[in-house]
Amino acid sequence: MRITIDRDRCIGSGQCVMTAPGVFTQDDDAVVALVPGHEDGAADPRVHDVPLVCPVQAVAIFED
Amino acid sequence: MTEAEIRLSRASASFPQDRTCPYQPPRAYAQWRGESPLTKVTLFDGRPAWLVTGHAEGRALLVDPRLSSDWGHPVFPVVVQRTEGRGGLAFPLIGVDDPLHARQRRMLIPSFGVKRMNAIRPRLQSLVDKLLDDMLAKGPVADLVSAFALPVPSMAICELLGVPYGDHDFFEECSRNFVGAATSAEADAAFAELCTYLHGLVVKKRAEPADGLLDELIARQLAEGHLDHDEVVMIALVLLVAGHETTVNAIALGALTLVQHPEQIEVLLRDPAAVSGVVEELLRFTSVSDYIVRMAKEDIEVGGETIKAGDAVLVSISLMNRDARAYENPDVFDARRNARHHVGFGHGIHQCLGQNLARAELEIALGTLFARIPGLRLAVPLEEVPIKAGHDAQGPIELPVTW
Ligand code: SF4
């Protein structure tokens, strides 16, 4: 699995963090970031729900 | 009726309409459900508008940059008569498009980030405990709106912004009149009073900085020339009003829905971790903000129809949240359901900025309310609970409860 985030698109809603806190976090500006070491998404099974809950489609998941 | 007559009668249905049950979409909206994701309605001034009722279609439209939120546009739709005279006033955040919207939102999101919201939870908890102590000490019957549902978000938003809570009677009334007045003259008067108050507050804060979001805006954005004085005042106004007119309804409607489904209060009581799922389902089921207003900037094809440039588009939050293609048995309140993709906070770039504050408030307020008063119930029949008009944030005006 590969996760991409578009930090320019992100509106800081935090839905990714609320849904899969093992993989997503917010930086000091409340913009989306991936949790270091967990960029592959394996740390949280709910990662698959994130593209659905992100209000601006800033998160994409590509299954290999 | 022939098909043509049905189409005509649909086209003439007026929007919005009032709810009869406080947590169900207005009865008349049933005619639009389960068929086309898009239908035609008429606004109070006779203007036709598209009403989007499908969950998938609504979400796609709310991220579509061809729909505009620019209240300043000369033909931006007016849904409520009292705002008729306010054309041209593009409120920060809610009444503007990108890139201006993105610039304003970026300034504010750090104050509403997940970490900040988690950090204020202990403070919210002590506030909720104190309000319940007072309510219990006075004994039943209580009005859950004035004793609990209103002071929680009011105190929370004041603290976050750095607005003195001591003035709350004044700006709660202004806020109520601004969004819920009968006439535009009353609404404009409340708006002017709020502006004057917040102008004075910003002047004072510039001289004597304190802690709070407004102080931070002044110290960073105003001092560095990214915002001017009037913009800070308008941002303060939008956040203060939004903080007052939304979560109060969500807490009151949430409590009401739960007392009407007592078997589901169990879900809340058995497992404190379940509270966040219960809150999401309440947000889906009650749809406090019933609809979102947009205007098409270009032609858009949806569900076999063409929305033309300049058309009014109303996105029905309550019907999207009750779309059977998105939720099984959508009219059933099921506290165990996974309702996370509801659109109770909207969708797209304008999705509610304060949503995680609202979630923290709802989880703590409702979780604590039922943990402490598991036998809470209505003190009057449901039909006698006075509710707000269809164009307001939906919710009870008063909620008499006993225990
Ligand atoms: S859900 Fe989307 S918009 Fe919200 S913080 Fe995450 S990436 Fe940003």
User: How far is B340 from B88, CA to CA, in rounded Å?
Assistant: 36
User: What residue type is assigned to position B89 of the chain?
Assistant: L
Report the chain A residue with the minimal C-alpha distance to residue B353.
Answer: A13
Largest CA distance in chain A: 32
Q: Is the CB of A10 under 6 A from ligand 1?
A: yes
More confident residue, B90 or A24: A24
Atom 6, ligand 1: which residue's CA is nearest? A16
User: How far is B383 from B388, CA to CA, in rounded Å?
Assistant: 13
CA B50, distance to chain mean position in Å, is 21
User: Could you tell me if A4 and A59 are in contact, meaning their C-beta atoms sit under 8 angstroms apart?
Assistant: yes
Do B349 and A17 lie within an 8 Å CB cutoff?
no
CATH architecture assignment, domain A2-62: 2-Layer Sandwich (3.30)
Distance from CA of A3 to the nearest CA of B (A): 20
Confidence of residue B185 (pLDDT cuts 50, 70, 90): confident
Average pLDDT on A35-48 reads 91
> E strands of B304-366, at which residues?
305-307, 312-316
Q: Which chain A residues are Cβ-neighbours of B341 within 8 angstroms?
A: 49, 52-53
Backbone torsions φ then ψ of B291, nearest 5 degrees: -155, 160
pLDDT at position B303: 83
Confidence of residue B8 (pLDDT cuts 50, 70, 90): very low
Closest by Cα among A1, A4, A62 to A32? A4
For B97-122, how does the pLDDT look when each residue is reduced to its tens digit (9 = 90+)? 999 999 999 999 999 999 999 999 99
pLDDT at position B11: 55
Average pLDDT on B47-71 reads 96
Backbone torsions φ then ψ of B104, nearest 5 degrees: -70, -40
Token duo for residue A16: 């990714």
Q: Name the residue with tokens 């499908």.
A: B54
pLDDT at position B3: 55
Average pLDDT on B14-30 reads 94
Provide CB contacts within 8 A for B299, sequence distance 6+: B306, B307, B308, B309
CA B232, distance to chain mean position in Å, is 22
DSSP code of B210?
-
For B84-98, how does the pLDDT look when each residue is reduced to its tens digit (9 = 90+)? 666 557 899 999 999
For B233-256, how does the pLDDT look when each residue is reduced to its tens digit (9 = 90+)? 999 999 999 998 899 999 999 999
User: How far is A42 from B383, CA to CA, in rounded Å?
Assistant: 50
- Percent of chain B at pLDDT > 90 equals 81
- Percent of chain B at pLDDT > 70 equals 96
Average pLDDT on B193-215 reads 95
Asked if the C-beta of B105 comes within 8 angstroms of chain A's C-beta atoms, the answer is yes
**pLDDT reading at B231 higher than 60:** yes
pLDDT at position B86: 61
- How many folded domains does chain B comprise? 1
pLDDT at position B1: 44
Beta bridge partners of B305: B302
Most confident residue range from B23-37, B62-76, B86-100: B62-76
Task: Give me the domain span that covers residue B103.
Answer: 3-402
Return the domain boundaries, chain A. Answer: 2-62
Average pLDDT on B257-277 reads 92
Do B114 and A30 lie within an 8 Å CB cutoff?
yes
What are the C-alpha distances in Å from A38 to residues A28, B163, B266?
Answer: 19, 40, 36
For B151-178, how does the pLDDT look when each residue is reduced to its tens digit (9 = 90+)? 999 999 999 999 999 999 998 999 888 8
CATH of residue B73's domain is 1.10.630.10
User: Could you tell me if B39 and B33 are in contact, meaning their C-beta atoms sit under 8 angstroms apart?
Assistant: no
Among A8, A18, A54, name the best residue to mutate to test ligand 1's pocket (greatest count of ligand atoms within 8 A of Cβ): A54
Token duo for residue A50: 């994130």
Closest by Cα among B306, B291, B293 to B343? B291
CA B142, distance to chain mean position in Å, is 24
Beta bridge partners of B377: B402
Average pLDDT on B121-138 reads 97
Q: Is the ipTM of this complex over 0.90?
A: yes
Segment holding B33, helix H or strand E: none
Token duo for residue B77: 């739709």
Kindly tell me the number of DSSP H helices and DSSP E strands found in chain A.
2, 4
Q: Name the residue with tokens 């998105």.
A: B326
**Residue B152, SS3?**
helix
